[in-house]
Chains A and B, each alone.
Chain A
Amino acid sequence: MKKGDYDLVIIGGGPAGLTAGLYAARARLNVIMIEKVVPGGQVLVTDLVENYPGFPEGIGGAELVQKITEQVKKFELNIENNEVVSVDLSEQVKKIQLGDRIITTDTIIIATGASPTKLNIPGEDNFYGKGVSFCATCDGPFFKDRILAAIGGGDTAVQESIFLTRFAKKVYIIHRRDQLRANKTLQERAFANEKIEFVWDSVVTSIEGSSDVEKISIKNIKTGETKQLGVDGCFVWVGIQPNTDFLKDTVALDELGFVIVDKNMQTSVSGVYAAGDARDTPLRQITTAVGDAAIAVSSAEHYISKI
């Protein structure tokens, strides 16, 4: 039987990819992980992870990544800094086009995760790094005693807004609905925080300023009323988009672009699996990503043993 260069190629190095790497390396598969930027993914920008078991005091996102990476390196996982441009899954031996060469493999785990959704409003791109940010831990400290806007109402938006109040004198949470989607613990903390003011039923329509962010325009979607708020920074947490563009026309995706898998994490193509935020899943957490990854590797091993 014709075999690929690798038993398994893991695409992406966030919690799902790293965990897949851990399981695969321990299983002594001939495996390589391809990471485009640096291992860690979205967790890198999370200030505090409180729902990953084993850390009663919570753990910083970057710190958790560092620990998982250390653990993975102990088992000598081969990690390459490269980009997957496209994949060809038409034959049993799958081809992966990297930035500089093609590699072949029997199985693939797609663990490319997701990226923050942009607002796509005027000013967002121009003021990125000049007041517009997606990372509170990175950029929050630049806004000591300043006024900030945080956009969104989910876990990330609320948790990171609470973090921002360590520095800012005021944080407006601007949310398009009249209640939060965030979990109750976070909601209670946010409602009790005197520095946080909620702007309900509203969307931001533009971000303005001269060299840096100075104000935002918001619109109440129930009343149609518009107003401007003077802010020094604008943090955007309105959800995520899957990093699956490179998969176009290869595996089945849902209407939002997430990879559809079965209970074994197998995609519409045999020997190709997906794990973590990139797949269609009712919950996107570190805990669910690592669980997906373990199942995906087990399925891949099973598949490899049969070919």
Chain B
Amino acid sequence: MSDTHAHSIAFVRDTEIPPSPPPAGETGAVKWLRENLFSNAVNSALTIASLLVIYILLSKTLPWLLNGVWTTSSLAECREVLQGKTGACFSVLTERWNQLLYGFKYPSDQYWRPNLALVLLLFAIAPVLFFDLPRKLLAFTAVYPFLAFWLIWGGTILAPIVALVGFAAGAFVFQTYGKSSFAVGFFGAIAAAFAVWIIGGMLIPDGASDNAMLQAVPSRDLGGFMLNLMLGVTCVSLSLPLGIALALGRQSDMPLIKWMCVVFIEFVRGVPLITLLFVASVMLAYFFPPESTVDLFLRVVIMITMFSAAYIAEVIRGGLAALPKGQYEAADSLGLDYPQAMRLIILPQALKISIPGIVNVAVGLFKDTTLVSVISMFDLVGMIRGPILASTEWNGVYWELLGFAALLFFVVCYGISQYSQWLERRLATDHR
């Protein structure tokens, strides 16, 4: 207080007024209800109508869920237990659990192999998804495909080792010669890999798979949700790099490369996936040498990968087009060459812009793996429509089975979507 006011002011408060509580109606649940649910007549009516709808939905579904029967061995027994009451027959899920997850031909004493492959998948995929993890973990990611192949298909361990050595030889050749000339390194790497594969293929003795450590399981014995997951993971991880290559190829100054990419993308995108799958199951055999039996799983993977790569390429092209021209010019003016500019400047930004689109394609692709049921592969939907619903015990159990399939797919797809949102937040650098 300054002196000038000291005698002109009659009263100076020397203690603070204690804070008083807000009026009762202005806090807590009551206030929230009044502001959000009953702020005016229309809102109140809508609130009551919504409550009514929720009540009707729950009153129909809850008894069905809660009265569910889990332990019977056929639909008829379910009906007996329920005695006319509403109730789901979840017994089909417990009784056919293994068939739903692994298909009906995978040897049941070998289920630990796909299970182990799934657990290892989580470790292999973690450093790719979460790039704050130490980069050394990527070594396991590189080995994982071969390990998973050996675990799931079994047979001789020599086959995946030869495949791995082939890739390693290719990578080595590219590292050594790719620096001086990209073309020499690139084609040299392909030649080296094929040389290793052909020589290695001849070295593997004919009966190597007969008494192998892991019993060999042919591709047609794979099935259930396992097959969906295998197709989904393989095709997404293959189609992303292929899609990037196609998108860059489409922007290339070299007419031959550009037109090859344009024709590929436009052709594959213009054809329904189911057509491609029929081609894979029936016609593709004509394109391979008669004595070679290219695996059906591999053929399907090729087709789905091509299909989604074409879509991903277009999504990424959108991301590339969204980048200001100045970014290319700045990269050029600093003396970065084309691969460096793409890898360090252009693609990180273009891919970031494309995340929602890429995730869209990935989720769609994962769900499209159920289409293989039309070419008589017994994936989750194929199992449900085929062996399970056709059996005398479970003929007619639709809601429980298809609801379960929907739930499995929803969990995975929702997970992908949540990851992509985390990724977008993590990569946001334009905040102030």
- Specify whether A and B are partners: no
What is B's interface to A at a CB cutoff of 8 Å? Answer: none
> Which residues of A come within 8 Å of B, CB atoms?
none
